[in-house]
Amino acid sequence: MNDDTARAAGSGAGREHNEQAIRAAIRWMVMLRSGDATARDRERFEAWRNADPSHAKAVAHVEASLGALLQPVAAGMPRRAVGDALLAAPTRRKLVRGVLSFGAVALGAGAIVDRLSPIGQWTADFHTDTGERTNTVLADGSTVTLGARSAVDLAYAGETRGVVLRTGAAFVRVAARDIRPFVVRNGHRRVHARAGSLSVRTEGPWLHVAALDAPLRISVADGETMMLAPGRTARAGAHRIELTRESAASEASWTSGQLQVDEAALASVVERLRPYFPGVIRVADDAASLPVTGVFPLDQPLRALDALAATLPLSISRYAGYLVLVSRA
C-alpha cells in the first residue's frame, strides 16, 4: 500500500468513525430531551461523551445544528421515531414509507429537520445549513466560500492541494504563494487552478464552473479536458465538457446573495433557490421550461418567487409556510 492509498484508507476509516459518533450523539440527544431520561441515563451519556474526543465533538455539533429543534420536533412523538427520522438517509426514508403510522411520523420529522440542516453532510470538513454562506481560510492561504447546503472535504497531500466538493456551491480564491496546483474534485471531474478565483456548483448531473480572473483546466473521467479562459463558464458532465453562455460574474453572483440569470429555465432557477428555503418548493411540469431573465435575492426565496410571478404566467400556492407549489397561471 503506497502513502496516498494509506492516507485515503485512514481518511475513510476516520470518516466512518465520525459518522458513527454523530449517529450515537443524535440518539443520546433525543433521549435526554424526551423527558424520560433518568439520572443513570445521564451518567451513561457523560461516560460515553468523555470516552473519546470524537464523541464530545459530535455532541457539540448536534447541539449547535439541531439543539433547538430536537425538543419541539420530539414533542408528542415516540423517542425512537424521532431518532430514526433524524438518522434516516434519503434511501432509508424510501424504505420506511408505509411502515405503520409510526414510520410516517418519523419520516415527516426527519424531512423537516433535514431541510434545516442537511444531516448527510455533517461529516464533511466544512458544510453549511439552509440559507447559510460561510468563508474559510485554508492552510495555504486560499479561501473558500460555501453557498447554502454545501459541503467540502479538504484534499491536501503530496504535490496537490484542494478540496472535494460533495454538493452545493463553492467559490475559491487560490493563494498563489503555494506552487502546487489547486484542484477541486467532484466525482471524476477535476478543476485545476494555479491562481485567481473560480466558482463551482453542482446541479443535477452537471458541475458548473466559472473562471473569474485566471484560466482553469477542467477534466472528466474519459480524459477529455478543456482550458477555460477568464470570464467564461462551462459545465462538466460524467464524460463531456461544454461551454455555457453565462458570464463568470453572473455564475458567481451567489456569493453576494444574488441570483443573476439570462434565459434560464424556471426549473433551474428554482433549483438554485431551494438551498435558501427551509421547506419544499415544487415546480409543475407545465412551468418548468419557462425562460427567466433577471436578478433575484437568494436570501429571500419567497420574495424571488413573487417577483417571478409578477413577470411570468405563474401561480404560487403556499401551504403552512413549508410547501410552495409553482404552476402555470
Q: pLDDT digits over 235-249, tens only?
A: 999 999 999 999 999
Closest-CA residue to 322 (of 108, 76, 91, 70): 108
Rounded mean pLDDT, 46-70: 78
Collapse the DSSP code of 292 into the 3-class scheme (helix H, G, I; strand E, B; otherwise coil) and give the result.
Answer: strand
Q: Give the pLDDT of residue 16.
A: 61
Q: For position 112, what pLDDT does the model report? A: 64
Confidence (pLDDT) at 321: 74
As a whole number of angstroms, the distance between CA 216 and CA 183 comes to: 10
Q: Confidence class of residue 22 from pLDDT cuts 50, 70 and 90? A: confident
57-61, 64-68, 314-318: least confident range: 64-68
Phi-psi region at 31: left, alpha or beta (left = phi > 0; alpha = psi -120 to 50) = alpha
Residue 6 in this model has a pLDDT that exceeds 50: no
| CA Rg value for the chain | 22
Beta carbons of 327 and 314 less than 8 angstroms apart: yes
In terms of Cα–Cα distance, which of 180, 190, 242, 238 is closest to 216? 190
Distance CA 247, CA 108 (A): 40
Return the pLDDT at 284: 95
**Rounded (to 5) percent helix, strand, coil in the chain:** 40, 30, 30
Look at residue 67 and tell me whether its pLDDT is greater than 60: no
The confidence score (pLDDT) of residue 84 equals 47
pLDDT band at 1 (very low <50, low <70, confident <90, very high): very low
Q: Residue 232's pLDDT band (boundaries 50, 70, 90)?
A: very high
Span 59-87, average pLDDT: 53
**At residue 32, does pLDDT exceed 90?**
no
Predicted pLDDT at 2: 45
- pLDDT tens sequence across 144-203: 999 999 999 999 988 889 999 999 999 999 999 999 999 999 999 999 999 999 999 999
Q: Give dist(CA 190, CA 225) in Å, integer.
A: 9
Residue with cell 477529455: 224
Instruction: Decide: pTM greater than 0.85.
Output: no
Segment 110-125 shows an average pLDDT of: 76
Residue 131: per-residue pLDDT: 94
Distance (Å, rounded) from C-alpha 212 to C-alpha 232? 8
261-317 residue pLDDT tens: 999 999 999 999 999 998 899 999 999 999 999 999 999 999 999 999 999 999 999
pLDDT at 33: 66
